[in-house]
Chain A
């Protein structure tokens, strides 16, 4: 395993393009994005529907190859890698969190979190797999739900399993495409609190959202339109999810007393 080079950005994009060919029609979903994301950043990607956010995320996540431009992940050029090599990158360097959770339904929380290690080379021993999965679930506050199936858990809890799964292989980067899209406001804030906590512990996060409220918990906001980045802003005083949950709790208590 290559030791992460802390001096260089985790992600370097240069004039990245992605064109979809559907029959006769060409759709330029991403039309030339140049962007660096440093270690320890917490980036929100915003933009209207169809602006190319998911396409960009899929490319960053090595689920898809760009049509043009350069993409260096942790200093490694991704263009030209085959499916097997991309799979290795996803397994070792990336963690995914999806809007729809994408957990294996008839499988326990623990097994869901163990899944990425099943595909790690060299083989991770059963015991180590278990230990790491338990630790990851404890980190997202689900240490008491190891044997539960996704259907027995709330949306917020399911998303936290997905986050534990994303973390379990100690990735360079966690990518989340609208992770709070299926969640209510309070649960969304809780998830953002968890992300902030992970980010404070040094994990690099990139997430897509179309809600400004949610983006406000991030350190940097990149806005896209028609496949291009139209603004890129860093925030010093971002919102603290922990503080706001506390405020919400106070408000609830008052409402109950009244």
Chain B
């Protein structure tokens, strides 16, 4: 017999045997379901966890990259002084001169925006809205990778003149003007009238969940001179030419500022630098660890499911000893019997896998409805689930199948 003919015969036999297996499984619906439960839970958790993990990671990654490209943010205040975050911006140590020095001396800086911000009441169109007033440079949009929906950004000239011009976030615009085009309108901030020259595109929730679209961007000089009267900056946003120069730029800024602030080696930094790439890397490595952890839980569940299948297959072989005896008596070869029980185990675990995938996709949808991000079901995890289910069927079905095939026909026929 040639190979092709052999293959055809094998496939036909396997197909017919699968039908027999499905019938046997249907006869014991409840038992089959309970047996497959381990696989169902295992596969469902793999699919759901991977989907939720991917979704969460994509969500965080997009938020991190929405901050801008290759962004370093220098905050005033020591990291050590009272926890990680509370120190940010609290000490008044960053000056415009620092920003100028960074722009001049750090080679990889391509854009820089000193930031002086505050919160204030914005009044326009007879409405009143409390919002963030961000004092920035014209580079701000480039750094934050932000685009205008209408109008234009202010330029260096307006910064030098501490001009009363504003670019407005979409949320703030909506609160104040509703569907009206805000460009050309006037908004009063701290009782000073500003002409709105631009409208920002919507960006959605930021890293901390706050709405980034609720803000008014004006020149930093205007904030410092006209609104707060502060001499110090809250932070300095720096864009670096390429991702692989970020660490070097961070080092250069650190040593430059330490030198400018006359810090000796026994003093800690009185500023700290938020490195966007570092955050992204951390998010990635954390999500990898979590995926691994969840993956191993799912793996254990699949293993337990496999043992369940082996157990029920052994029971099935014992229960059906007489049937096996009859099949052998009429000419079933040991390989035929082995194939039958192997296929039954594989069918069981693949069915479990199928139901598990459906449950997993369902669970991912549910999470997507509750959480503020979409769970991303990957084809890879579905294929993997089926592959693993198949392998479990083969691995845990082999021993019972071999046991069935090794039965002595005379004993089997006499079995009660």
Contact = CB atoms under 8 A, between A and B. Distances in A.
Interface in B313-330: 322-323, 325-330
Nearest to B12: A123
Pairs A-B, 8 closest by C-beta atoms: A91-B331, A116-B330, A87-B333, A119-B331, A119-B332, A90-B331, A84-B333, A63-B409
Residue from the set B326, B327, B331, B409 with the largest chain A CB neighbour count within 10 Å: B331
Interface string A147-170: 000000000000000000100010
A173 to B, nearest CB: 14
Given A63-B329, A123-B13, A87 B410 contact: no
A120 B330 CA distance: 10
Contacts of A121: 9
Contacts of A103: 326
Contacts of B16: 118
Nearest to B8: A123
A219 interface: no
B27 interface: yes
B325 A102 contact: yes
A87 B331 contact: yes
A162 B135 CA distance: 95
Interface string A106-126: 100000000110111111000
A83 interface: yes
B335 interface: yes
Contacts of B328: 87
Nearest to A87: B333
Given A58-B410, A63-B409, A98-B413, A119 B326 contact: no
A30 to B, nearest CB: 14
B336 interface: yes
B334 interface: yes
Contacts of B334: 83-84, 87
Given A64-B410, A102-B322, A90 B329 contact: yes
Interface string B10-24: 001100100000000
Nearest to B413: A102
A64 to B, nearest CB: 6
A238 interface: no
Given A90-B330, A104-B326, A106-B27, 13 more contacts: A64-B410, A83-B333, A84-B334, A87-B331, A96-B330, A102-B329, A104-B323, A115-B327, A116-B331, A119-B327, A119-B331, A119-B336, A123-B13
A102 B27 CA distance: 20
Interface residues of B, number: 23
Interface of A: 58, 61, 63-64, 83-84, 87-88, 90-92, 96, 98, 102-104, 106, 115-116, 118-123, 165, 169
Contacts of B27: 106
A87 B330 CA distance: 8
Contacts of B327: 115, 119
A83 B328 CA distance: 10
A182 to B, nearest CB: 15
A98 B414 CA distance: 11
B181 to A, nearest CB: 74
A91 B330 contact: yes
28 contacts: A63-B329, A63-B409, A64-B410, A87-B328, A87-B334, A88-B333, A90-B329, A92-B331, A98-B413, A102-B322, A102-B326, A102-B329, A102-B413, A116-B330, A116-B331, A118-B16, A118-B332, A119-B327, A119-B331, A119-B332, A119-B333, A120-B331, A122-B1, A122-B9, A123-B9, A123-B12, A123-B13, A169-B331
Contacts of A91: 330-331
A7 B335 CA distance: 35
Nearest to A103: B326
Contacts of A122: 1, 9
A88 B9 contact: no
Contacts of A83: 333-334
A165 B335 contact: no
Nearest to B414: A100
A36 B409 CA distance: 25
Contacts of A90: 329-331
Contact of A119 (B322, B330, B410, B413): B330
Contacts of B12: 123
A132 to B, nearest CB: 14
A58 B329 CA distance: 10
Residue from the set B329, B330, B334 with the largest chain A CB neighbour count within 10 Å: B330
Contacts of B329: 61, 63, 90, 96, 102
Nearest to B9: A123
Interface string B87-108: 0000000000000000000000
Contacts of B332: 87, 118-119
Nearest to B320: A104
A121 B9 CA distance: 9
A208 to B, nearest CB: 14
Nearest to B335: A84
A169 B322 CA distance: 21
Interface in B38-89: none
Residue from the set A87, A88, A104, A115 with the largest chain B CB neighbour count within 10 Å: A87
Contacts of A118: 16, 332
